[in-house]
Structure 1
């Protein structure tokens, strides 16, 4: 699934939310220098935000299609799984991963991060949590429950997903702790908001990790149509008041 997002890289880049300015600023200001490694950089969304904050960013990306798009936006990218990527002796002031660290091997990834970070370097992995208004979130969850009753995404978590991301944070923290190479582990959160039209939300859904399994099950078009109807029922647009969650640490 990690290699499925590049099917329409331009749509992905257009539809995916940007990260909160406060999160980007916290990463840039806490690193001891400007050299940042972006693991699973995708189309370069976080990388470009960090560049605008004064960082020099190198991306590592498994999908050549995503990497090719990122290069067109001014991001330097090397194509490789992070676990087998060759840093060629290079080290960095910060390592980030936006919406991607859950794809990384939980043992190999933290050890590799420790190897490429300079002493005092910052580790920062983060996810944005899409939290629709409560009534709309319940409507979305009902749609999944009716269309895919046996799927984990049909659980009540779909209506209030913040708790599900604790699993990602817990696993990342366990991996860092096991290396013995990191200190000052923390889990800051960053609120963010965005107004969505129906079509903007559907584009976001088309680029989500759910899109491929839904398409493979022959259910994507049904989910999109039902979701469109639910948004139309509340006026065709809504405000997403959400949270970005992070795990940050310092290389000893």
Structure 2
């Protein structure tokens, strides 16, 4: 029996904590060039930043290494615990186990709001308004995501067939697409469209960073196991899909190349 990997938004949002350590080990970070570009765009005010949906610290550590002050919001206590462990001994990094929507106002405003692989989980009814409330005049917002795609076309087709054997439809963010179906990487995505409708934001920019890296079979299984659309599958279905994926990659030499596209959206609040 096939299973539908596309489920309730709230269920998917809350799935990561159960695999926090695996998420931390499997998920790639972000290009150094992106960090440089964000901080240059933000300017001097960017030294005091708020991070939304910090997870286990994939973006946090890259920005903290530049010496800026970071207040990191992560609603899942299990993810936040891994993040806090990584940031131990970093007095310029504070971890708050709370979500962006319900964080109690403190009157403090930031020069930079950043969010990696997480802004789509924030309630669309409040996210832009809350961002403006928490940013200083002229403060910057930086939102970024990674997409991963199997580079080899033949192997990609084989892995698509594997998924179709076990699932009713592909996951919404699948490495076996020729092009991501629900990507935010293009300027006319929902991120860009929503930003354009917000009167309080100016200087909108979109940037794209391309890279390619090799992953072993185990590395691919770990990556897929960290994605919400796989985490919410039943254990039986998830095991069957991943076992079949593993056998397929092993038959191709035990590794594959992933094309990685990192999309960045930038804007400023009105000064």
Normalised to the residue count of structure 2, the TM-score between the two structures is: 0.85
Q: Point out where structure 2 has 5 or more consecutive residues left out of the alignment.
A: 1-11, 88-92
Q: Distance in 1 between matches of 2:207 and 2:186?
A: 14
Aligned to 2:267: 249
Shift of 1:27: 1.1
Would the aligned equivalents of 1:36 and 1:94 in 2 still touch at CA under 8 Å? yes
Root mean square deviation, CA, Å: 2.2
SS in 1 for 2:195: helix
| Structure 1 residue corresponding to 2:226, chosen from 179, 186, 207 | 207
Q: Name the residue aligned to 2:239.
A: 221
- Unaligned regions of 5+ residues in structure 1, if any? none
Name the CA distance, whole Å, in 1 between partners of 2:79 and 2:68.
21
Structure 1 window deviating more from structure 2 (227-236 vs 71-80): it is 71-80
- The change in CA–CA distance for 1:155 and 1:118 in structure 2 (over 3 A counts) is closer
C-alpha displacement of 1:156? 9.2
Q: Distance in 1 between matches of 2:173 and 2:180?
A: 13
* Alpha-carbon displacement from aligned partner over 1:64-115 (angstroms, at most 9, x marks no partner): 1111111111142112221111240111111111111111112300111111
1:160 to 1:202, Cα distance in 2 relative to 1, 3 A: same
User: 2:184–2:191: 8 Å Cα contact kept in structure 1?
Assistant: no
- Distance in structure 2 (CA, Å) of the matches to 1:20 and 1:68: 24
Structure 1 pair 95–155 and aligned structure 2 pair: CA distance change class (3 A): closer
Partner Cα separation in structure 2 for residue 163 and residue 117 of structure 1: 32
Which structure shows the bigger proportion of residues in helix conformation? 1
4+ residue stretches of structure 1 with deviation over 6 A? 154-157
CA contact (8 A) 1:157 1:163 kept: no
TM-score for both structures, normalised by structure 1: 0.91
Is this contact kept in 2: 1:92–1:117, CA < 8 A? yes
Higher relative contact order (CA 8 A, sep 6+): 2
Q: Are the aligned partners of 1:197 and 1:237 in contact in 2 as well (CA < 8 Å)?
A: yes
